[in-house]
């Protein structure tokens, strides 16, 4: 179990380090950077690379909503859910701490939003709480369905991480203008801790909505698209 939790820690660390690092250092650097499309691809590439690197050890969740969804789908043992969540949260927070330490080394640095998620005034596009909640639920549900489909026995072996990485890229392309794209409570909590724009009181939405979305995506896959999927696939995401 220790190796699995270590893999989840490092995988989540890399994913959140990539998202926050790209958003803070590269998105607008120095006046024209990679923009939100670059952040989206950073997220997708990060999850893809770690899915190949440590996915065979832990299943490559890197996201509390994914772990919950996999448990609902019968792919992951419920008894391991809380330990995975703890490892993922710690990995995300450590990533945010290091990003903050790097960013604060620049003269005149202010954390500002720190690439945090939000609704109403904190939404990049000014979207309401209801709109942000809806997009987070739908995007997380779709992401779970991609994961479950790409790693099913019917899928081509070895290509799962590519489909999952590209799926997360699409999720971010849609979600960044609306909510700054969470679909991952560990990512939202890590960023909100260091934000200076009032994101922390809104972080509840980015915990609740992805968890609901993950469960919905798992239910849709298990009982509609792939009923009776063999239980021997517990934990398999790679």
Q: Is the pLDDT of residue 234 over 60?
A: no
Residue 44: pLDDT band by 50, 70, 90 thresholds? very high
Residue 232: pLDDT band by 50, 70, 90 thresholds? very low
Report the distance separating Cα 123 and Cα 130, nearest Å. 12
Report the distance separating Cα 7 and Cα 64, nearest Å. 14
Q: Is the pLDDT of residue 116 over 70?
A: yes
193 vs 226, higher pLDDT: 193
Residue 233: pLDDT band by 50, 70, 90 thresholds? very low
Report the distance separating Cα 208 and Cα 228, nearest Å. 27
In this prediction, residue 152 carries a pLDDT of 85
191-209 pLDDT tens trace:
999 999 989 999 999 999 9
Domain range summary for the chain, segments of one domain joined by +: 2-233
Say which CATH class 2-233 falls into: mainly alpha
**Model pTM?**
0.90
Give the pLDDT mean for 212-230.
Answer: 84
In this prediction, residue 33 carries a pLDDT of 79
Q: How does DSSP assign the chain, residue by residue? A: -HHHHHHHHHHHHHHHHHHHHIIIIITT-SSS--HHHHHHHHHHHHHHHHHHHHHHHH----SHHHHHHHHHTTSS-GGGHHHHHHHHHHHHHHHHHHHHHHHTTSTT---TTTT---SGGGSTT---HHHHHHHHHHHHHHHHHHHHHHTSTTSPTT-HHHHHHHHHHHHHHHHHHHHS----HHHHHHHHHH-SSS-GGGTTHHHHHHHHHHHHHHHHIIIIISTT--GGGTT---
Mean pLDDT lowest among 38-52, 113-127, 152-166, 196-210:
152-166
Q: Is the pLDDT of residue 169 over 60?
A: yes
Q: What is the mean pLDDT of the chain?
A: 91
In this prediction, residue 109 carries a pLDDT of 81
Give the pLDDT mean for 223-238.
Answer: 57
Give the pLDDT mean for 36-47.
Answer: 95
Residue 83: pLDDT band by 50, 70, 90 thresholds? very high
Give the pLDDT mean for 7-32.
Answer: 89
Give the pLDDT mean for 102-129.
Answer: 92
24-39 pLDDT tens trace:
988 876 667 788 899 9
In this prediction, residue 35 carries a pLDDT of 87
Q: Is the pLDDT of residue 230 over 60?
A: no
């Amino acid at each position: 179990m220790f190796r699995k939790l270590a893999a989840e820690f490092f995988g989540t660390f890399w994913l959140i380090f990539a998202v926050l690092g790209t958003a803070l250092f590269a998105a607008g650097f120095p006046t024209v950077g990679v923009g939100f499309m670059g952040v989206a691809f950073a997220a997708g590439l990060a999850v893809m690379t770690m899915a190949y690197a440590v996915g065979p050890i832990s299943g490559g969740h890197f996201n509390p909503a994914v772990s919950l969804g996999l448990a609902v789908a019968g792919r992951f043992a419920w008894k391991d859910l809380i330990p995975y969540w703890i490892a993922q949260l710690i990995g995300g927070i450590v990533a945010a701490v290091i990003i903050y330490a790097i960013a604060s080394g620049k003269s005149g640095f202010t954390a500002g939003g720190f690439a945090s998620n939000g609704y109403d005034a904190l939404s990049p596009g000014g979207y309401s709480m209801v709109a942000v909640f809806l997009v987070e639920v739908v995007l997380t549900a779709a992401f779970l369905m991609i994961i479950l489909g790409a790693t099913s026995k019917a899928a081509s072996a070895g290509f799962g991480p590519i489909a999952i990485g590209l799926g997360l890229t699409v999720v971010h392309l849609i979600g960044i203008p609306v909510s700054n794209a969470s679909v991952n409570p560990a990512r939202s909590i890590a960023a909100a801790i260091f934000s200076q724009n009032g994101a922390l009181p809104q972080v509840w939405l980015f915990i609740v909505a992805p968890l609901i979305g993950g469960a919905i995506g798992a239910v849709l896959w298990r009982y509609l698209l792939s009923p009776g999927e063999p239980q021997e696939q517990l934990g398999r995401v790679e």
